[in-house]
Amino acid sequence: MSLDFEQARFTMVQQQVRPWEVADARVLEVLGTIKREDFVPTRHRRMAFADLALPLEHGQTMMKPVVEGRMLQALALDPRDEVLEVGTGGGFISFCLAALARDVVSIDIHADFVERSRARAVEAGISNLQVIHADAMAYRTARRFDAIAVTGAVDAVPAHFITWLKPGGRLFAVRGHTLVQTAVVLQADEHGRVREQSLFETELPYLVGAEPVARFAL
């Protein structure tokens, strides 16, 4: 039996994402328009709209739709914003960010994720998305961004991530140890002070190099 992808996408937005306190009309429109099923492994296409984190290569996952919605809303993107995505993954969030903001740079440590997203962006005619092969823990840039989306968990937000924010910029991350991870938004002011807002509890695989340090008891 074939699946009506358009109806499934509509149902996902209306019955999963919207009830999870996502009210931003632009975010809901993007999630209801971009074809999420094209960004999951072929064997999982029929599950693309389920309330599940779907597996990707390298032990990574595609976030649950509700988490994607809350993240995009928390970033409060303006069409003029410049955005950095840390962790391209399957590329779905990259496309969402490109639809919501003026310019997007996405970095990922895995070359196949980068190559795939570059090819999809070219095929889709998306000109405001640049995908770079880089290790976020070693990446350095003089550029500053209005918003940063960190799509993998971190034990603690690395200090150099904060330096990528413009004054007033927002950074979304999922921080903490496995099973007690919390989604947070960090906002930097013009004096370099950072304010943190906790949003909700969730669980994501860690960015490479951002895992908790193993502690051994004697």
Query: Both tokens of residue 182?
Result: 């919390």
Banded model confidence at residue 2, pLDDT cuts 50, 70, 90: low
H helices within the chain, ranges in order? Answer: 5-11, 25-31, 65-74, 92-100, 111-124, 159-162
Q: Find, among 201, 180, 186, the residue nearest to 20 by Cα.
A: 201
Q: Which one is the CATH code of 5-202: 3.40.50.150, 1.10.3720.10, 3.40.710.10, 3.40.50.720?
A: 3.40.50.150
Q: What predicted TM-score, i.e. pTM, was given to this entire model?
A: 0.94
Q: Find, among 152, 157, 112, 114, the residue nearest to 133 by Cα.
A: 114
Domain chopping of the chain, boundaries: 5-202
**Cβ 153 vs Cβ 181: under 8 Å:** yes
pLDDT in tens, 104-143: 999 999 999 999 999 999 999 999 999 999 999 999 999 9
Q: What are the Cα distances from residue 164, in Å, to 78, 81, 153?
A: 18, 14, 18
